[in-house]
Amino acid sequence: MRIFKRRNSGEKHSTLQPVAGNGLLDRRALLGRGIAFAGAMSAGGAASLTGAAAEPLKDEQWSLEPGEVLSPYQQPSKFEKKVTRILSNPRGEPRTQHARTPHHMLNGTITPNGLHFTISHQGNPDIDPDKHKLIIHGMVKQPLAFTLDSLSRYPMVTRAAFVECGGNSSLLFSKEPVQTDVQNLHGLVSCAEWTGVKLSVLLEEAGFDKNAKWMIAEGADAPAVSRSVPMKKALDDAMIALYQNGERLMPGNGYPVRLLLPGYEGNMQVKYLRRLKVVNQPSMSYYETRTYSPVLPNGKAYRFFFLQEVKSFITHPSPGLMLKEPGLYEISGIAYSGTGRITKVMVSADGGKSWAKAALQAPVLSKAFTLFRMAWRWNGSPAVLQSRAWDDAGNVQPTRAEVVATRGETKTVARVGGFPSQHYNGITSWGIAGSGEVKHVYA
Amino acid sequence: MSTRRIAAAALLFTLAANSSLAESPRLGKSITEVEIAAWDLSILGDGTGLPSGSGTAAEGAAIYAQKCVACHGEGGKGGNNGAVVGGGPLDRIEATKTIVNFWGYPTTVFDFIRRAMPWQQPRTLSNDEVYALVAFIFAQNKLIGEKDAMNAQTLPKVKMPNRDNFIVRFPKEI
């Protein structure tokens, strides 16, 4: 691996300095400095930005008449109709439903509520918040029942946190790269700002037994989804979440109340939370001992994976977003870690031969999405784009080869929508063809 | 930092800690385990929480034919949804996980059927019916004899073939 040495900054270097192979440029290129970018991946070419208009400007009709009446709850523009979640089971057949976040059509660190991913094992329940209760019992001095009304009167905390399904990105275990977009590959992770009550406050109130090591969390949905959570996590940063990006939780994300366990497997962050039982051993529930226990190449399996480990992927460009012509582009993507704050993201345009440090968009928050950006001059020849993240706990995102060395890969090619295993956090590679087409590749 | 400053900082910390306790409105309403019983579905790995009741494979076969076969297929071999009988070797990471080739605890089978099945009417089976279905599935998988009854005493003792093949991924988190 080569690391190009960054040039000392200085006004005399007014041209864009390469910082790694195949056209990666100094981050100052991102700040503009009078340089015209070729534009977003599928937007118009450089000419439209720098060239003179062919005809004199005139007003469009929408500028010449009153606009539409406001709606009580606004929806995106009709021109954004394609920006939706992909559904795995749109007719609600008797199996799990998945709705995946379109990362390649978004640009930010907070996922809009309507686009936050959802996995529902037996549909979303239609819960009346006035009738919902949260019970805390088991190894406690006094079992307690909370209503939504009572929970709303507790001191609140607010924090950003990503939530990721343990099966997100698992198509990268396929022995050959599955040809699909970032939404199908990585769409089971989203990030929101959550507001609620610290779980430790409620556990203290119930007088939990200090010898208890586990807590069973259970939902009010049809399958009463149930997971065992270490008390260590429950007393650390666990939250009884009531609000998502400022409004009440979405039905697909646990309305009216969910357990938030920042950095942990999404399935453990039980939605529609109605019961917490403090216990001395795990329940060995279906989801913890079957679904989210990945099989290893030697036939054994991991149990209690819990953590969503440090990961990053490039969203722009990515499959489906063509590069229309050679020129300057901004490579951008998302990095996050269940074990802390992102400290560094490196980007490569030559399949990992050389790397350069990407700019991180502030604020960089623990267990939340961090946006990274890298300036790139694409010369029109084939390239392979990769990103790799580091966190403040000292963890490094592994290469795919490193993941496969311990976790294995499939014997048959995986299909879109499948889950050949769980917990993939290795590098994703995008191959750029001379035509500007972007494909999923292994490099 | 001077001693005085340390003392001041300590005082501030104490105040902050006290005030956060004082802020808690303590609005939880006392409730008894008897009142919670209908919601308390939790069964632990050692069998704690298993209810009274009992069932055999023969009883379970009849219930299976009525309430399960549509999704899980004749003889439990799988249909639109997963097989509950049989299973191949775990010879690849994408191997299909079944009760007999993967599940580590017999209690999980009771727990999952009781809380989540049948699909359209979860939590409508009686405890006897759940025990009977577990007996049917275990007998079909040759984990118990055809005549063995499943109940709170016998069920936790069933030996699952894959029981010892799990590795805790992040023990420090527990």
**Backbone torsion region of residue B53, taken as left when φ is above 0, otherwise alpha when ψ lies between -120 and 50, otherwise beta:** left
Tokens 């030559």 locate to: A350
Q: Is A302's pLDDT higher than 80?
A: yes
Using only C-alpha atoms, chain A has a radius of gyration, in whole angstroms, of 24
Contact B42 A173 (CB under 8 A): no
CATH of span B42-173: 1.10.760.10
The residue type at A126? D
SS3 A377: strand
pLDDT for residue B80: 85
pLDDT for residue A52: 56
Over residues A184-227, the pLDDT tens digits come to 999 999 999 999 999 999 999 999 999 999 999 999 999 999 99
Residue A339, CA distances (Å) to A311, A388, A409 in order: 11, 16, 25
**Mean pLDDT for all residues in chain A:** 93
User: Taking residues A346-354, what's their average pLDDT?
Assistant: 98
pLDDT for residue B19: 44
C-alpha triplet A288, A167, A276: angle, nearest 5° = 35
What's the pLDDT band for B1 if we cut at 50, 70, 90?
very low
CB contacts of B95 in chain A (<8 Å) are 295
Shortest CB distance from B115 goes to which of A93, A224, A302?
A224
The residue type at B56? T
Interchain CB contact of B3 with A (< 8 Å): no
Cβ neighbours of A237 (radius 10 Å): 19
ipTM of the complex: 0.90
Distance CA A111, CA A160 (A): 11
Report the percent of chain A where pLDDT is more than 70.
91
What's the pLDDT band for A31 if we cut at 50, 70, 90?
low
Distance CA A414, CA A143 (A): 47
User: Taking residues A146-175, what's their average pLDDT?
Assistant: 98
Q: Is A303's pLDDT higher than 80?
A: yes
Distance CA A331, CA A41 (A): 10
Q: Helix %, strand %, coil % for chain B, to 5? A: 45, 5, 50
What's the pLDDT band for B5 if we cut at 50, 70, 90?
low
Q: Is A42's pLDDT higher than 50?
A: no
Strands (E), A70-184: 86-87, 97-100, 118-120, 133-138, 144-147, 157-164
Structure tokens at A366: 């623990």
Contact B166 A300 (CB under 8 A): yes
Interchain CB contact of B23 with A (< 8 Å): yes
More confident residue, A7 or A327: A327
Interchain CB contact of A302 with B (< 8 Å): yes
Distance CA A279, CA B155 (A): 21
Contact A143 B42 (CB under 8 A): no
CA distance, residue B3 to nearest chain A CA (Å): 31
**Helix axis angle, B127-140 to B106-116, nearest 10°:** 130
pLDDT for residue A17: 85
Shortest CB distance from B94 goes to which of A122, A307, A420?
A420
Shortest CB distance from A306 goes to which of B20, B108, B173?
B173
pLDDT for residue A53: 59
Report the percent of chain B where pLDDT is more than 70.
87
Structure tokens at A42: 């599928």
Chain B interface mutation, best of A285, A306, A404, A412, highest count of B Cβ atoms under 10 Å = A285
Shortest CB distance from B174 goes to which of A154, A232, A293?
A232
Residues A202, A208, A211, A215, Cα dihedral to 10°? -60
A221: Cβ contacts below 8 Å, ≥ 6 apart: A120, A121, A122, A123, A124, A125, A271, A272
CA distance, residue B2 to nearest chain A CA (Å): 32
Contact B103 A289 (CB under 8 A): yes
CA distance, residue A360 to nearest chain B CA (Å): 29
Interchain CB contact of A101 with B (< 8 Å): no
Q: Is B16's pLDDT higher than 60?
A: no
Distance CA B131, CA B71 (A): 20
Over residues B85-105, the pLDDT tens digits come to 999 999 999 999 999 999 999
Using a 10 angstrom Cβ sphere, with 0-12 exposed, 13-18 middle and 19 or more buried, the burial of residue A175 is middle
| Contact yes or no for A186/A116 (Cβ under 8 A) | no
Interchain CB contact of A143 with B (< 8 Å): yes
Tokens 């300590």 locate to: B10
pLDDT for residue B18: 44
Q: Is A244's pLDDT higher than 70?
A: yes
Interchain CB contact of A47 with B (< 8 Å): no
From B22, which residue of chain A is nearest by alpha-carbon distance? A155
Using a 10 angstrom Cβ sphere, with 0-12 exposed, 13-18 middle and 19 or more buried, the burial of residue B4 is exposed
More confident residue, A20 or A10: A20
User: Taking residues A30-56, what's their average pLDDT?
Assistant: 52
From B99, which residue of chain A is nearest by alpha-carbon distance? A290
Strands A359-360 and A370-378: antiparallel
A379: Cβ contacts below 8 Å, ≥ 6 apart: A22, A23, A326
Interchain CB contact of B164 with A (< 8 Å): no
| Contact yes or no for A195/A157 (Cβ under 8 A) | yes
Interchain CB contact of B69 with A (< 8 Å): no
The lowest-confidence range among A101-115, A268-282, A429-443, B16-30 is B16-30
CA distance, residue B145 to nearest chain A CA (Å): 24
CA distance, residue A109 to nearest chain B CA (Å): 27
**Which uninterrupted H or E stretch holds B137?**
helix B127-140
Contact A155 B107 (CB under 8 A): no
Contact A297 B45 (CB under 8 A): no
pLDDT for residue A27: 75
Q: Is A175's pLDDT higher than 90?
A: yes
Residue A169, CA distances (Å) to A124, A187, A420, B165 in order: 24, 8, 10, 25
Report the percent of chain B where pLDDT is more than 90.
84
User: Taking residues A7-22, what's their average pLDDT?
Assistant: 64
Cis amide bond preceding A317, omega within 30: yes
Shortest CB distance from A226 goes to which of B25, B81, B115?
B115
Contact B45 A136 (CB under 8 A): no
Distance CA A127, CA B114 (A): 21
Q: Identify which of B94, B49, B53, B77 has the alpha carbon closest to the alpha carbon of residue B137.
A: B77
What's the pLDDT band for B23 if we cut at 50, 70, 90?
low
From B82, which residue of chain A is nearest by alpha-carbon distance? A95
Over residues B49-83, the pLDDT tens digits come to 999 999 999 999 999 999 999 999 999 999 888 99
Interchain CB contact of A289 with B (< 8 Å): yes
Q: Which residues between 124 and 163 in chain B have a beta carbon less than 8 angstroms from any beta carbon of chain A?
A: none
Over residues A139-153, the pLDDT tens digits come to 999 999 999 999 999
CB contacts of B29 in chain A (<8 Å) are 144-147, 150
User: Taking residues A217-238, what's their average pLDDT?
Assistant: 98
Contact A295 B90 (CB under 8 A): yes
Q: Is A316's pLDDT higher than 50?
A: yes
> b or e along A264-276 (b: 16 or more beta carbons within 10 Å of the residue's beta carbon)?
bbbbbbbbbbbbb
| Contact yes or no for A270/A210 (Cβ under 8 A) | no
**Which uninterrupted H or E stretch holds A439?**
strand A438-441
Q: Is A406's pLDDT higher than 50?
A: yes
B136: Cβ contacts below 8 Å, ≥ 6 apart: B57, B59, B60, B61, B63, B64, B76
